[in-house]
Amino acid sequence: MVSDTPIRHHHPMPAAPPPSTKTSLQQRLSAHARQHWPQLTSVEVRFRGAFAYVSGHSPDGDTIALMRLRYGGSTARWGFAIYRASHEDYEDSTLPTGAFAGTPEEALDCAAGLYLGDDTDDWI
């Protein structure tokens, strides 16, 4: 017998990262930006549920939306979505490694490279 009920696949959203992970992510991205992205005076990370929204601040005071990271339970690997200024949204994207998830530093290098110019000497 064929059912009219659609099959629903449940993909539970991971819980929000714990406070220690939030603090660690901000510290990691700030330190990486200071070393590799002098075009940024600071990096700001805002959290909403399992997502971390990352923006950079330029010396002239502009805020540049860069990316969204998705917490999946590991502090080492985060899902990556690039900010699309032309659409004012985020789109899941691959990193230069070809993966949809990676370290926060790899994600920052990818997004900042797109918006600020290529500084990828030691990406991979």
Q: Express each pLDDT in 4-48 by its tens digit.
A: 444 444 556 668 999 999 999 999 999 999 999 999 999 999 999
Domain ranges of the chain: 19-116
Averaged pLDDT for residues 59-83: 96
Q: What is the rounded average pLDDT of the residues 49-58?
A: 97
Helix axis angle for 19-36 and 104-116, nearest 10°, is 40
- Pick from 105, 97, 93: which is nearest to 24 by CA? 105
Alpha-carbon dihedral of residues 91, 74, 112, 41, nearest 10 degrees?
130
Q: How far apart are CA 71 and CA 53, in angstroms?
A: 11
Taking residues 93-98, report their average pLDDT: 95
pTM for this one? Answer: 0.84
